[in-house]
Amino acid sequence: MEEIGKFLGWATAVCFGMSIMSFVVKKINLWIIKQFEKESQLRMFYGKFMRFIIRNHMYFGIGAGALAISHLYIQISNGKTSLVGIMAVTLMILTILLGVAMKKIGIAKHKWLLYTHRSVVVMLLFTIIVHIILVG
């Protein structure tokens, strides 16, 4: 049970990392890829890869949320808990709710949703790192 709990924790972290890639791929595109010619194979391939990551980041995010709740359940069943872990799962649920709200009502007139979504992700990243350092 202990190993499953740890595995679920790492699986949550990996899915969360894949969601964050949505930001990273855009920056790589802006800073590096845009310097190549429009018709270059690299630029065309990268464009497809970037769209794949951006389009699917929400599924990785929802997966991360489901895995985090399973991890929480296993840790509590093992008689273990973590305050920072609970903070992380709370921020993750908030991130997902903000993402779903953006999908439902759109971003154009509600830019604050995107800014809040991004800011909560930064806090969540920091919280997860602290959680792993404290329990590891």
Separation in Å, CA 94 to CA 5, 49, 77, 101, 121: 23, 27, 24, 10, 9
Q: Which of 33, 62, 93, 123 binds ligand HEM (CB under 6 A)?
A: 62
Alpha-carbon distance of 5 to 91, in angstroms, equals: 20
Residue 120 binding ligand HEM, by CB under 6 A: no
Q: Which of 25, 50, 53, 92 binds ligand HEM (CB under 6 A)?
A: 92
Alpha-carbon distance of 75 to 81, in angstroms, equals: 6
Hunting for tokens 């992380």 — which residue is that?
88
Report the interface residues with ligand HEM, using CB under 6 A. Answer: 2, 5-6, 9-10, 12-13, 16, 19-20, 22-23, 26, 54, 57-58, 61-62, 64, 68, 71-72, 75-76, 80-82, 85-86, 88-89, 92, 95-96, 99-100, 102-103, 107, 114, 117-118, 121, 128, 131-132, 135-136
